[in-house]
Amino acid sequence: MNTATLSAGTLALLLLFFSLFFQTFQQTDKLQEEDNPITRFQNYLRINTAHPTPDYLSAISYLKSQAQSIGNLQTQIFEFAPLKPLLLITWKGSNPTLPSILLNSHLDSVPAEPSKWIHSPFSAVRSSDGKIYARGSQDDKCIGMQYLEAIRNLQLKQDFQPLRTIHISYVPDEEIGGFDGAAKFAASKEFRDLNVGFMLDEGQASVNDEFRVFYADRSPWHLIIKAVGMPGHGSKLFDNSAMENLMKSVEVMSRFRENQFDLVKAGLKANSEVISVNPVYMKAGTPSPTGFVMNMQPSEAEAGFDVRLPPTADPDLLRRKIADEWAPATRNMMYQVRNQ
């Protein structure tokens, strides 16, 4: 058996080499861990795009950088309304003369109340059980990132090129009606030039690998019900006071909501297949320096409801129900439907 004795200098040099090797390996491994679909999603969630002041520019800048990191994707930014940019990403197909595919997602999200959250709504904290806490995570920044991650996998890992050109649109203002976002985009020459043959947008979340695809969406009705009545002292009982009439309507609408929800709970229908009615605000009372006058019955009372109609619902029947049962003129009530 031959043996060799390492000098102290050689041994030190080998130890230094292995030390540097493992440091480099650990740094590379850490870098890969930090740059993955989950962390890229979290980075997007940390951009505050909640109303009333959504940071559209930062969101678009981030999404554009992600598209550029994939490669072979074209990006365009349109502004159909001041300070409300729209990002369009294009993956050119092998036969661009065919009608294209458009995948849509919106940039904005509804407001958040930070004090009511376990974690800050824009921290995108990931808990030990895998849950990510962030405003807009499901509605619908997850979809916006899934589009890019799917293309990343298809293009970089499978060297795939689609037959048709695929566009991804990131639109502003969806949560406040979309009038300065998708509506103006759809009416533009830029949209017509895309030659869209099929479009896919957000839908229902799924907890497994099964996804339901819908060919229509529920129609949002912003219903405002207003009641009027004789004002008077808080100690007296009046017939048809504003608050009494409004409360009667709320009770009737609550029973309707409960009946619709029972169908969902029983598994007979999905959430998207019933008429949902949700109260969102109530306004009444006589203001005072310390809040409201407690011994005064107001002459007006108002409540707002977010009503959603599935494509199978008859809007005329619902209008009659509102006029006859929810806000009847016989009880000194009136109503208004917005975003119809």
**R_g over Cα of the chain:** 28
> Nearest 5 degrees, angle CA 176-CA 179-CA 184?
145
Is residue 175 a known part of a binding site? yes
Annotated active-site residue 217? The verdict is no
CA distance 142 to 38: 10
Give alpha helix (H) positions in 35-126: 37-45, 56-70
Residue 282: CB partners within 8 Å, gap ≥ 6? Answer: 246, 301, 302, 303, 304
Contact (Cβ atoms closer than 8 angstroms) between residue 64 and residue 74 = no
Give the bridge partners for 283, in sequence order. Answer: 302
At 41, give phi and psi (nearest 5°): -65, -45
CA distance 229 to 121: 42
Is residue 222 a known part of a binding site? no
Residue 148: CB partners within 8 Å, gap ≥ 6? Answer: 63, 66, 67, 70, 89, 168
Annotated active-site residue 210? The verdict is no
Is residue 258 a known part of a binding site? no
In terms of Cα–Cα distance, which of 285, 309, 315 is closest to 297?
285
Residue 104: CB partners within 8 Å, gap ≥ 6? Answer: 168, 169, 171, 182, 199, 200, 201, 202
Give the bridge partners for 227, in sequence order. Answer: 301, 333
> Which one from 34, 35, 79, 108 is the annotated catalytic residue?
108
Contact (Cβ atoms closer than 8 angstroms) between residue 148 and residue 44 = no
Is residue 202 a known part of a binding site? yes
> Which one from 34, 129, 140, 174 is the annotated catalytic residue?
174
Residues annotated catalytic, as ranges: 108, 174
Residue numbering of the annotated binding site for Zn(2+): 106, 139, 175, 202
Residue numbering of the annotated binding site: 106, 139, 175, 202
